[in-house]
Structure 1
Amino acid sequence: MNRLLVALSAMFLQQTFVALGRALPAVIAPAMIADLMLDSAWIGVYFSIVAAAALMTQLGCGNFIVRYGAMRMSQAALVLLAIGTAFAAIGTPFFLVLSALLAGGGASVSTPASSHLLGRCSPPKYMPLIFSIKQTAVPAGLLIAGFVGPSLTEWSNWRYTMLISALSCVIFSLMLQPLVKHFDDDRIATRKFHFSDFGTTLRSVLGTRDLRNLAFSCFAFNAVQTIFTIYFVVYLTTIGYTMVAAGFLFSLVVVIAVPGRIVWGLLGSGYIQPRIMMATLALGMVISMVLLGLSSGGWPTIVIGIIATVISATALSWHGVLLAEAARAAPEGSRGGVTGGVLSFGQIGALTAPIIFALLLGISNSYGLGFIVCSIPALLVALVLLRQRQGSTLGK
């Protein structure tokens, strides 16, 4: 039990720093856009590059986790994110692209590494709960970003804010060093990386119906999560909110994702079939995103806050249930690789959704249309999961 608690604490903090670093450009985007004289659609392009880098990294990270260990790869993720975040502070187009590549590719290793480590330490029955607790680190990081990012940016400037985030990632990566020897005792130093690993990971995910459904679910859910995360604050500033007020509201609604992930994980650990749980969350995403798309500057803040809270409770809270099912369906010793493969489909959602949103924004000058269109895959997921027979892994 002590080993599990230490592993869970380390992975929770690791993913908190990663979530903070990855979300920061979104919550301080208004300041970056104004300073660099960029179009609002730029933020979608930036995060599409992040997702593209994450896609390639997650497809090939399995063997690196096996060879170097989950804790060592967690350190590597933090350091690469720190370098990418620091490059963004330079502010030129070249370094912004380089920032997106390094931050996206580096940070994307954090979840497969933590899944590999916790999959070894967690009792199978309680995996949804353990993984959900660990994944509450993501809304925790978003919450910190929303509270601290805009305020720190107004106090100084956005470049200083990015550099502070980079430094915090480096410091915590050093704090993980004493745990490497204790938790990376399963690493296989002779394991080599091959480009065929990309194909092997894809085949392992697409080879079974359960993992295919999880991959499609991850695609749809991550698309909604990404659009909400990167455009909600910017959208609010276009309808009359200040950046600090928008960041505060964002942080306020993100809080619900912390207990939300734990509750969904607890229910998915034996009370409700994970398949039904994920279908319900998908329907919640669709309804709330459509309502956000229909909202306007004349709507009361409390109404927009309630809508965003539902989005937070669904689109920001599905991870523990889905990741636990992926780890449960993965062959022994391949949890990191299979989890990375499933998450890579999520990165495809995170890659394509901002591009579609940016195109719709350019054509219609409407944020609402983008919010609605990017929720359509989640509706399809709900229909697929509800029609799926109960005899599969997702139904157990």
Structure 2
Amino acid sequence: MARPLRRWRGKGKNERRHWSDAIFNLYLALGAMTVQQTFATLGRSTVPLIAAAIVADLGVDPALVGVYVAIGAVAGFLTTMGCGGLILRYGAMRMTQVGMLALAVGLALPASGWLPLFALGAFVGGLGQAISTPSSSHLLGRLSPPRLAPLVFSIKQTGVPAGLMVAGVVAPVLATDVGWRTALLVIAGLSALTAVALQPLRARFDVDRVPGTSLSPADIRANVALVLREPALRAMCLAMFSFVGLQSLFTGFFVLYLVRGLGYDLERAGLVFAIAVAVAVPARIGWGWLAARLVRPATLLSLLGVGMAVSAVLAAIIDPAWPTWLATLVAILFSATAVSWHGVLLAEVARLSPAGRIGATTGAVLAFGDAGALALPLLFSAALTLTGGYATGFLVGGAFALAIGLAGLWRRIGRGA
């Protein structure tokens, strides 16, 4: 039975055994959730990263990439709003497995090349992928000591840049060598295998599930009311909206920007993207360590918001004449800010959540992130259609992050923090 990690004060044999079990369970859960987060991110980001090949093959408007991302965001919104009761009823590990299987289906559907199946695949995959973070937050929030939660959550969230890094290298290579349809099927198979690999851990970690938990729309309303009623959680909701929205622009459009806007070939653009998101792995751990040791999480998130805005401006002014290494530096800064904040914010949400409701509260906050992932890509696509360029879209996304960062710093100054 998985036990929460607690401070060992005694020297008895039983206390040492319990301490050892708690550490083992924490490390095992952290490892499993980091791996599944990696493959969930790999699956979610594959279509946008090979969009240039899909657009060229099917002869469709590149702005439809924003529609694909937005459909996934709508599905993710529905999942995160209603996942709290599902996690409590069936267990965090089981819902993670269900999510990975749905993601596999969502990736396989578009391989036909029929546009309506792209839409359906985006929706099904979005439903599945979105359960990953609330489930892992529920599990790790139960097992982690509060003092180390920012670091633990940040380590788990390194699965996002790791998945993006793998996707940035593997997906374009597969699309170039064997075609984008085969690339989608390969990544779909990896998602399904991840769900199967998690099965041996279910009995160990789903011990807190409550089979009789009701699944009611009233629970969704209660969760949303909770996060909007509490000022600190409300601030996390607004930050989640803006930060996830800007991250969606980077992961959904940056490679397309390099290829269609700046003239890069797909493999070079994928390599630039992979190098950038590789930096997010140590960045996430570093931000988590700072939040756990030196800087208040809310203050750090505000500073990162300002950094994201600067990154977005730099991305908007990249010139085709710039050397590749300079464009890569801009991408690295973008990644170190807009793709590296999650662990700090999720740990803060877990800290602010009512006892036993971490998954439900995290889901409600994440729903605002899905709203951002819906709204900002649509704004980006609109700007792309109206202006024919990518700069305006990045500047709009940066403005949201800047507003959150400056507002947070103003609150901190007002409180003397």
Q: Is the structural similarity TM-score above 0.5?
A: yes
Q: CA deviation at 1:391?
A: 10
Report Cα offsets for 1:348-378 as digits up to 9, x if no partner. Answer: 1100011101111111111011111111111
1:234 aligns with 2:256: yes
One-letter identity of the residue aligned with 2:130: S
1:39 aligns with 2:42: no
1:373 aligns with 2:396: yes
One-letter identity of the residue aligned with 1:249: V
Q: Secondary structure at the match of 1:260?
A: helix
For 1:138 and 1:231, the matched residues in 2 are separated by 17
For 1:178 and 1:362, the matched residues in 2 are separated by 49
1:250 aligns with 2:273: yes
1:168 matched to which residue of 2?
190
One-letter identity of the residue aligned with 2:337: T
For 2:134 and 2:191, the matched residues in 1 are separated by 18
Runs of 4+ in 1 over 4 A off after TM superposition: 389-392
Match of 1:382 among 405, 411, 414: 405
For 1:92 and 1:332, the matched residues in 2 are separated by 46
Q: CA deviation at 1:270?
A: 2.3
1:340 aligns with 2:360: no
Report Cα offsets for 1:123-165 as digits up to 9, x if no partner. Answer: 0000000000000000000000000011111110101011011
Contact 1:87–1:98 (8 Å) recurs in 2: yes
1:190 matched to which residue of 2?
212
1:286 matched to which residue of 2?
309
Q: Please, what TM-score do these two structures have when normalized by structure 1?
A: 0.98
Contact 2:30–2:140 (8 Å) recurs in 1: yes
1:300 aligns with 2:318: no
One-letter identity of the residue aligned with 1:21: G
| Range 121-130 or range 168-177, more displaced | 168-177
1:260 aligns with 2:283: yes
Q: Secondary structure at the match of 2:292?
A: coil
How do 1:60-71 and structure 2 match up within 5 A? 60-71=82-93
Contact 1:60–1:201 (8 Å) recurs in 2: no
For 1:46 and 1:139, the matched residues in 2 are separated by 21
For 2:136 and 2:345, the matched residues in 1 are separated by 14
Contact 1:59–1:197 (8 Å) recurs in 2: no
2:161 matched to which residue of 1?
139
Report Cα offsets for 1:203-252 as digits up to 9, x if no partner. Answer: 01101000000010011111110001111111111211100000011001
Contact 1:16–1:138 (8 Å) recurs in 2: yes
How do 1:105-184 and structure 2 match up within 5 A? 105-184=127-206
Match of 1:215 among 213, 221, 237: 237
CA RMSD of aligned residues (A): 1.3
For 1:131 and 1:246, the matched residues in 2 are separated by 30
Match of 2:50 among 28, 31, 38: 28
Q: Secondary structure at the match of 1:61?
A: helix
For 1:88 and 1:63, the matched residues in 2 are separated by 30
Q: CA deviation at 1:291?
A: 1.2
1:76 aligns with 2:103: no
Q: CA deviation at 1:389?
A: 4.3
Q: Please, what TM-score do these two structures have when normalized by structure 2?
A: 0.93
Contact 2:299–2:412 (8 Å) recurs in 1: no
Contact 1:128–1:324 (8 Å) recurs in 2: yes
Q: CA deviation at 1:172?
A: 1.4
How do 1:45-56 and structure 2 match up within 5 A? 45-56=67-78
For 1:34 and 1:308, the matched residues in 2 are separated by 24
For 1:280 and 1:387, the matched residues in 2 are separated by 11
For 1:88 and 1:10, the matched residues in 2 are separated by 28
Q: CA deviation at 1:112?
A: 0.1
For 2:191 and 2:370, the matched residues in 1 are separated by 22
For 1:389 and 1:226, the matched residues in 2 are separated by 27
1:274 matched to which residue of 2?
297
One-letter identity of the residue aligned with 1:311: F
Among all aligned residue pairs of Structure 1 and Structure 2, give the percentage whose two residues are the same amino acid: 44
Contact 2:306–2:406 (8 Å) recurs in 1: no
Contact 1:78–1:170 (8 Å) recurs in 2: yes
For the pair shown, which has the larger CA radius of gyration, 1 or 2?
2
For 1:120 and 1:369, the matched residues in 2 are separated by 43
Q: CA deviation at 1:198?
A: 2.0
Gaps of 5+ in 2: 1-22
Q: CA deviation at 1:261?
A: 0.2
Gaps of 5+ in 1: none
- How many pairs were matched up? 394
For 1:305 and 1:284, the matched residues in 2 are separated by 17
